[in-house]
Structure 1
Amino acid sequence: PLPPEFERLWLGAQGNPHDFGAWTELLGFVEQENHLFAARKAFDAFFAHYPYCYGYWKKYADMERRFDCARQAEEVFERGLQSIPLSMDLWIHYISYLQSTLDMNLPESTQKIRGVFEAAVAAAGMDFRSDKLWELYVEWEREHGDLRAVTGIYDRVLSMPTQLYNHHSSLVPRNVSMVPRNAPQHPKTPSWFKEHVLHNHPKDILSPEELLWVQSKLATDPVPKPPEPEGTEAPPGEDLPPGVEGKASAKDPEEDLDQEKIRELVISMRQQIYAQNEAEVSKRWNFEDGIKRPYFHVKPLERAQLRNWREYLDFEMAAGSHERTIVLFERCVIACALYEEFWIK
């Protein structure tokens, strides 16, 4: 049976669906009572009117989980992500939920999480504030030892205009005149992609096709051979082990040099992409800085923010790709859901 207080709050919300406060009071009550059936009724009705509220999707899924309703919890996540596929927080919360509940010793669990990561970056990876999602994907693949997959993810995000674009790479010296003054700085953060290339063997991080192409490219410009090492000498008063006299070091300096040349070429190939991406970020930075409330709320937006959305959309329609324009519109109608001009636009 539903608590009597629930019926009162339910009638208040149903009687005036546009009264956001009545809904939050109802949802707060079912959470406090920890009444699953009342919660399901309240949340389902609430989302029919306010599907963009990420925080309440999370609360709903967490309640299902507390009652060990794993299938229902996952269904709540899926419904929420269908409603707001650009919600970085909801994707990350869903992935965290899967990582904590699936048996990671099973191959299908790894496949499922990788599939959800792919769905997440396909849906939300073009969002200007998607950096955390990309970084989690990189770290997850690195933990699972798939360094080629890490390279593939980096290649995708290196050409993506995002807020922390320089966090991922720093392949080239930053163009001070191009980067906005208020861009976030990360002096203590390593250049992730560059570190990835420098600290792993090329054959472990490159696809066979790219490695072959790089090697053939270097073959057209042969690397000078290092001088042959002379006989090894022991320090005064010490004898070399038997059989070592006169032999070169066991480590092949030519192989080391080849690896370094491959790494240099791999990095330089991505420098132009990085520079182009930096230019795209600089074009959008002021617009992004003007977005003070990227999430949904029933409170009115300031005129300056509404004007910023209009001008940003006009810019993207004129200068950006169709796909990027659609993503910006989807972001806009979350923050500006109650302004019909943006739906019409």
Structure 2
Amino acid sequence: MADYDHYGSSEEHAEIKKLEAEVEADPDNFETWEKLIRACEGLEGGLNRNSSPQALAALRNAFDGFLLKFPLLFGYWKKYADLEFNIAGPESAELFPPQRPDRSLTNTLRLFERGAAHVGLDFLAHPFWDKYIEYEERQEAEDRVLAILRRIVTLPLHQYSRYYEKFRQLSHNRPVSELVDDDVLAAYRAEVEAPYAGTQRPELETERDIRGKIDARYYELFTQTQNEVSRRWTYESEIKRPYFHIDELDYQQLANWNKYLDFEEAEGDHTRTIFLYERCLVTCALYDEFWFRYARWMSAKPDKEEEVRIIYQRATTMHVPISRPGIRLQFAYFEESCGRIDVARDIHASILIKLPDCIEAITSWAHLQRRHSGLDAAIEVFKNQIDSPHVDIFTKAAMVTEWAFLLWKVKGTDEEARNVFLKNVDWYADSRIFWDKWLEFELQQPTSAETEALHGERVKQIFDSLRSKSRLSKASKKQLSQIYLEYLLQRGGKDAMKQFLLIDREVFGPSSISKLSPPNAKENGAGSADLDAATNAKAEARFFNYYQLHGELDVERQGNVSFN
């Protein structure tokens, strides 16, 4: 937020500064933005054209920031425009720059055509077309009104019938040359004159017959449009909220949008499909699944790289909060696939500026480095995050396991990977991910008859370390113990059942004989007391790659669909 000279009372000034700091810290918080705008509107007893420049600047700054974050809230755009009008007045040169009449007309028509290009095909575009027609009627330009209606009567719009009737009424008083293209008109004239070849026929009769053919042509178009409207009404009638809002939508609404998009894609009209996606992404802008779908659909078309890039840019810079990084990572993969490696790196870095503990983004960045700069560069990413003071200890635990897995899976050095686990167990013993990955590593090592006993000792070492060093919850320790019990059953030696029953007793027995808690304090200085609820939630959290969570929407479920 910009800094201004003092304005309003001391209390008002302090409140606005506090709210500005809050929206900077959490720009996705809609309620805080609303409070900021209301506070700015109330400055100096209510802003008007006599308010101080500093107070007006504070209001404009609040609106600019808010609408940059939530650009689809049309009600606030109107509110902002009304405030500017009330402040500046109708004599404002900025609001109403003087123009010659011919230039004003040209600019207005250009704006209407821009509007037609952006919303003209929307099923609910009738308010726009009504304004366009109304403007041309005020200019007494019936020829242009007719031209607009000729465009509309072929579009499957909610108000299609009204436009057709208006077209019919107006067409009776307009020359036939304005009703159809020249080649169609010439063909109709040839058809009606053919039976009278070589004879003189009044022009009025010829025109009457031509108009009859034109009427029949437009009636046929009307019935085709009517059919297209009926097909789309199946989906249109289920749309309960056709505008953007920060509130969630229910399962049925999202399912309906997906079905509608399926329908339009199957129709095969590229332009109409784009219009429906754009309309859907007004209502569903905060649901990244529709941005994914739009980008995937567009990427299947030839020579659409820049269009796909723009879709990702819109999703990541304006609509989907950074707290949901999946669409940003997909954007990075897209840029990498296009050879823009530095851009892909920058996208990863931008995520970590706001989400330093995003394991998915760190891991993704490391593998980006591995693909293009080698294994050492990937490991360096993990080491930098482990050394960072801004990264949580449980995130660091995950980074250690990813580092070990790189050494194992990519470099092929089992011993180096094992040493990473052994050297870090005292630091990350309270991380569930650490134990899961260490067990996975050892259990997947190849063995032979000669090495099976050594392998068993290594697995037992993990289990013993878990029991003696970790403060994970009893539930987690029991789950991990079950993995070891299964190992003993399937791969243990002749004395394995003694160990099996001992663990079964001490882990799953009554509290009087249970030995789940570590007996001593950890060597790194942490106490042996149980973790508090908040820390335990972090310790046991799992992380998934965003693409692992893609699934079909359950249309039978009730209630709203979380943005997350």
- What TM-score do you get using the length of structure 2 for normalisation? 0.44
Contact 1:147–1:205 (8 Å) recurs in 2: no
Letter in 1 for 2:129: W
CA distance in 1, matches of 2:239, 2:159: 16
Which residue of structure 1 aligns with residue 34 of structure 2?
24
Equivalent position of 2:16 in the other structure: 6
User: Distance in 2 between the 1:291 and 1:320 partners?
Assistant: 22
- Give unpaired runs (5+ residues) of structure 1: 74-100, 170-190, 226-252
Distance 1:141 1:265 in 2: 27
Tell me which residue corresponds to 1:218.
Answer: 192
The offset of 1:216, in angstroms, is: 3.8
Partner Cα separation in structure 2 for residue 215 and residue 24 of structure 1? 64
Determine if contact 1:197/1:263 at 8 Å carries over to the other structure.
no
What is the TM-score with the length of structure 1 in the denominator?
Answer: 0.69
Which of 149, 161, 168 is matched with 1:194 structurally?
168
Report the CA distance between 1:15 and its aligned residue: 3.0
In the TM superposition, what are the counterparts of 1:169-188 in structure 2 within 5 Å?
Answer: 169=164
Give distance in 2, aligned partners of 1:72 and 1:165.
Answer: 38
> 1 CA distance for matches of 2:140 and 2:196?
32
Corresponding position: 1:147 with 2:142: yes
Could you tell me which residue of structure 2 aligns to residue 94 of structure 1?
A: none
User: C-alpha deviations, 1:51-76, integer Å up to 9, x for none?
Assistant: 11111112222222333386765xxx
Larger mean Cα displacement after TM superposition, 106-115 or 314-323: 314-323
Mapped contact 2:153–2:222 kept (Cα < 8 A): yes
The equivalent residue for 1:53 is 73
> Are 2:38 and 1:64 aligned?
no
Tell me by how many angstroms 1:334 deviates. Answer: 1.4
* Alpha-carbon spacing, 1:51–1:339, altered in 2? closer, same or farther (3 Å): same
Shift of 1:18: 2.1
Q: Which residue of 1 aligns with 2:62?
A: 42
Flag structure 2 segments of 5+ consecutive residues without an equivalent: 48-54, 294-564
My pick for the range that moved more, 59-68 or 325-334, is 59-68
AA of the residue aligned to 1:61: A
Q: Following the alignment from structure 2 to structure 1, what is the Cα–Cα distance between the partners of residues 270 and 282?
A: 19
Which letter maps to 1:57?
W
CA distance in 1, matches of 2:40, 2:183: 57
- Which residue identity is paired with 1:304? Q
CA contact (8 A) 1:148 1:206 kept: no
Q: Distance in 2 between matches of 1:309 and 1:72?
A: 41
Residues 75-94 of structure 1 correspond to what in structure 2 (within 5 A)? Answer: none
Distance 2:103 2:63 in 1: 31
SS in 1 for 2:156: coil
Kindly indicate whether the alpha-carbon contact (under 8 Å) linking 2:126 and 2:159 is maintained by their aligned counterparts in 1.
yes
Question: Which residue in 1 is equivalent to 2:476?
Answer: none
Distance 2:209 2:97 in 1: 42
Superposed, 1:1-345 pairs within 5 Å as 1=5, 2-3=7-8, 4=13, 5-32=15-42, 33-34=46-47, 35-68=55-88, 101=96, 106-169=101-164, 191-202=165-176, 214-222=188-196, 254=202, 256-345=204-293
Q: C-alpha distance in 1, partners of 2:93/2:100? A: 20
Answer yes or no: is the 8 Å Cα contact 1:201–1:259 preserved in 2: no
Structure 2 counterpart of 1:309, which letter?
W
- Matched length: 270
Name the CA shift for 1:135/1:263 in 2 (closer, same or farther; >3 Å).
farther
Rounded to whole Å, the distance in 2 between the matches of 1:327 and 1:28 is 35
Note the C-alpha offset of 1:299. 0.8
User: Which structure has the higher relative contact order (CA within 8 Å, separation 6+)?
Assistant: 1
